A and B are shown apart, each in its own frame.
Chain A
Amino acid sequence: MDEMAKSFAFTTRLDDIVAWGAKNALWPLPYGTACCGIELMSVMGPKYDLARFGAEVVRFSPRQADLLLVAGTITEKMAPVLVHIYEQMLTPKYVISMGACASSGGFYRSYHVLQGIDKVVPVDVFVPGCPPTPEAVLDGVMTLQRMIAEHTPRPWAEGWKRPSFIKPIT
Chain B
Amino acid sequence: METVNTTSSPLESLKRDFASGESSVESFANSSAAYGSLKFLTTSTGDDVLEVDKDSVPAVFQQFKDSGRFDFLMDVTAVDHLNQMAGRQKRFDVVYHLFSSKTYARLRVKAQVGEGEAIPSISPIYRAANWFEREAYDMFGIHFSGHPNLTRILVHHEFVGHPLRKDYDADHQQHCSSAMPLHFLPDPNFKSEGRQLLPLNIGPSHPATHGTLRVMAEVDGETIARANVELGFLHRCFEKMAETHPYNQVIPYTDRLNYCSAPMNNIGYCKAVERLLGVEIPARAQAMRIVLAELSRIIDHFVCIGANAVDLGALTGFFHLFTYREMVYSLFEKLCGARLTVSMTRIGGMAQDAPEGWFDDVLETCKKISEGVDQLDGLLTGNKIWQQRTQGVGKISAEDAIAWGYTGPCLRAAGVGLDLRRAQPYYGYDQLDFKIPVGTTGDVFDRYLVRVAEMRESLKIIEQVCKNMPSGDYTIRDKSIVLPEKSEVYGNIEGLMNHFMLVIKGLRPPVGDLYDATEAANGELGFYLVSDGSGRPYRLKVRPPCFAIYQSFPDQITGGLLADVIAILGSMNLIAGELDR
Alpha-carbon separation in the docked complex, A41 to B156 (Å):
28
Alpha-carbon separation in the docked complex, A107 to B168 (Å):
19
Across the two chains, which residue of chain B brings its CB closest to A30?
Answer: B211
Alpha-carbon separation in the docked complex, A122 to B1 (Å):
57
With a cutoff of 8 Å between Cβ atoms, the chain B residues found around residue A39 in the complex are 339-340
Determine whether the beta carbon of B236 is less than 8 Å from that of A110: yes
Q: Given A45-B326, A133-B339, A111–B234 Cβ distance below 8 Å?
A: no
Determine whether the beta carbon of A111 is less than 8 Å from that of B176: no
Size bin of chain A's contact surface: 35 or more
- Since A35-B577, A76-B173, A130-B341 are in contact, a sample of 8 more A-B pairs with Cβ atoms closer than 8 Å, ordered by chain A residue number, is A33-B211, A34-B211, A47-B323, A75-B233, A75-B236, A77-B235, A110-B171, A166-B175
CB-defined A-B contacts under 8 Å, sample of 13: A34-B236, A34-B256, A42-B329, A42-B339, A45-B323, A45-B325, A46-B323, A73-B234, A77-B235, A78-B204, A80-B177, A110-B240, A166-B178
Determine whether the beta carbon of A112 is less than 8 Å from that of B236: yes
Determine whether the beta carbon of B322 is less than 8 Å from that of A77: no
Does more than half of chain B's interface fall in helix, strand or loop, or is it mixed? loop
Across the two chains, which residue of chain B brings its CB closest to A115?
Answer: B173
Alpha-carbon separation in the docked complex, A85 to B178 (Å):
13
Q: Which of A111, A133, A166 contacts B237 (CB 8 A)?
A: A111
Determine whether the beta carbon of A111 is less than 8 Å from that of B170: yes
Residues of A11-55 whose CB lies within 8 A of B: 31-35, 37-39, 41-42, 45-47
Alpha-carbon separation in the docked complex, A133 to B256 (Å):
16
B179 within 8 Å of A by Cβ? yes
Determine whether the beta carbon of B236 is less than 8 Å from that of A108: yes
B24 within 8 Å of A by Cβ? no
Question: C-beta contact mask, A79-107 vs B, less than 8 Å → 1, else 0?
Answer: 11100110000000000000000000001
Q: Which of A73, A111, A112 contacts B169 (CB 8 A)?
A: A111
Distance in Å from the Cβ of A148 to the closest Cβ of chain B? 25
A151 within 8 Å of B by Cβ? no
B145 within 8 Å of A by Cβ? no
With a cutoff of 8 Å between Cβ atoms, the chain B residues found around residue A31 in the complex are 205, 211
Determine whether the beta carbon of B240 is less than 8 Å from that of A76: no
A140 within 8 Å of B by Cβ? no
Does more than half of chain A's interface fall in helix, strand or loop, or is it mixed? loop
Across the two chains, which residue of chain A brings its CB closest to B262?
Answer: A35
Question: C-beta contact mask, B238-259 vs A, less than 8 Å → 1, else 0?
Answer: 0011000000000011011001
Alpha-carbon separation in the docked complex, A46 to B255 (Å):
25
A146 within 8 Å of B by Cβ? no
With a cutoff of 8 Å between Cβ atoms, the chain B residues found around residue A85 in the complex are 205
B183 within 8 Å of A by Cβ? no
Interface residues of A (CB under 8 A from B): 31-35, 37-39, 41-42, 45-47, 60, 72-73, 75-81, 84-85, 107-115, 130-131, 133, 165-167, 169
With a cutoff of 8 Å between Cβ atoms, the chain B residues found around residue A167 in the complex are 177-178
B490 within 8 Å of A by Cβ? no
Determine whether the beta carbon of A77 is less than 8 Å from that of B211: no
Determine whether the beta carbon of B322 is less than 8 Å from that of A42: yes
With a cutoff of 8 Å between Cβ atoms, the chain B residues found around residue A169 in the complex are 178-179
B232 within 8 Å of A by Cβ? yes
Distance in Å from the Cβ of B328 to the closest Cβ of chain A? 11
Q: Which of B159, B233, B256, B341 contacts A78 (CB 8 A)?
A: B233
Size bin of chain B's contact surface: 35 or more
Question: C-beta contact mask, B263-306 vs A, less than 8 Å → 1, else 0?
Answer: 00000000000000000000000000000000000000001000
Alpha-carbon separation in the docked complex, A131 to B155 (Å):
24
With a cutoff of 8 Å between Cβ atoms, the chain B residues found around residue A77 in the complex are 155-156, 176, 232-233, 235
Alpha-carbon separation in the docked complex, A112 to B168 (Å):
12
Determine whether the beta carbon of B235 is less than 8 Å from that of A60: no
B172 within 8 Å of A by Cβ? yes
Alpha-carbon separation in the docked complex, A112 to B212 (Å):
14
Alpha-carbon separation in the docked complex, A72 to B237 (Å):
15
Q: Which of B236, B253, B319 contacts A46 (CB 8 A)?
A: B319
With a cutoff of 8 Å between Cβ atoms, the chain A residues found around residue B260 in the complex are 38
With a cutoff of 8 Å between Cβ atoms, the chain A residues found around residue B170 in the complex are 109-111
Alpha-carbon separation in the docked complex, A38 to B303 (Å):
9
Alpha-carbon separation in the docked complex, A45 to B319 (Å):
6
* Most central of A78, A112, A166 by chain B CB within 10 Å: A112
Alpha-carbon separation in the docked complex, A133 to B339 (Å):
8
Across the two chains, which residue of chain B brings its CB closest to A79?
Answer: B176
Determine whether the beta carbon of B173 is less than 8 Å from that of A81: no
With a cutoff of 8 Å between Cβ atoms, the chain B residues found around residue A41 in the complex are 303, 322
Alpha-carbon separation in the docked complex, A167 to B181 (Å):
13
Determine whether the beta carbon of B178 is less than 8 Å from that of A47: no
With a cutoff of 8 Å between Cβ atoms, the chain A residues found around residue B204 in the complex are 78, 81
Alpha-carbon separation in the docked complex, A32 to B168 (Å):
30
Q: Given A35-B340, A167-B178, A109–B171 Cβ distance below 8 Å?
A: yes
Alpha-carbon separation in the docked complex, A81 to B214 (Å):
12
Across the two chains, which residue of chain B brings its CB closest to A164?
Answer: B177
With a cutoff of 8 Å between Cβ atoms, the chain A residues found around residue B236 in the complex are 34, 73, 75, 108, 110, 112-113
Distance in Å from the Cβ of B269 to the closest Cβ of chain A? 16
Distance in Å from the Cβ of B338 to the closest Cβ of chain A? 9
Alpha-carbon separation in the docked complex, A78 to B177 (Å):
10
Determine whether the beta carbon of A34 is less than 8 Å from that of B178: no
Determine whether the beta carbon of B175 is less than 8 Å from that of A79: yes
* Most central of A42, A78, A114, A133 by chain B CB within 10 Å: A78
Question: C-beta contact mask, B566-581 vs A, less than 8 Å → 1, else 0?
Answer: 0000000000110000
Across the two chains, which residue of chain B brings its CB closest to A133?
Answer: B339
Alpha-carbon separation in the docked complex, A77 to B211 (Å):
13
Across the two chains, which residue of chain B brings its CB closest to A109?
Answer: B171
Q: Which of B178, B179, B237, B323 contacts A108 (CB 8 A)?
A: B237
Across the two chains, which residue of chain A brings its CB closest to B580?
Answer: A75
With a cutoff of 8 Å between Cβ atoms, the chain A residues found around residue B234 in the complex are 33-34, 72-73, 75, 78
Q: Which of A38, A73, A76, A165 contacts B156 (CB 8 A)?
A: A76
Alpha-carbon separation in the docked complex, A115 to B236 (Å):
11
Distance in Å from the Cβ of A91 to the closest Cβ of chain B? 20
B389 within 8 Å of A by Cβ? no
Alpha-carbon separation in the docked complex, A38 to B326 (Å):
12
Alpha-carbon separation in the docked complex, A144 to B447 (Å):
42
B206 within 8 Å of A by Cβ? yes
Determine whether the beta carbon of B211 is less than 8 Å from that of A32: yes
With a cutoff of 8 Å between Cβ atoms, the chain A residues found around residue B178 in the complex are 80, 166-167, 169
B207 within 8 Å of A by Cβ? yes
With a cutoff of 8 Å between Cβ atoms, the chain B residues found around residue A76 in the complex are 156, 173-176
Determine whether the beta carbon of A81 is less than 8 Å from that of B241: no
Alpha-carbon separation in the docked complex, A47 to B205 (Å):
26
Alpha-carbon separation in the docked complex, A39 to B341 (Å):
10
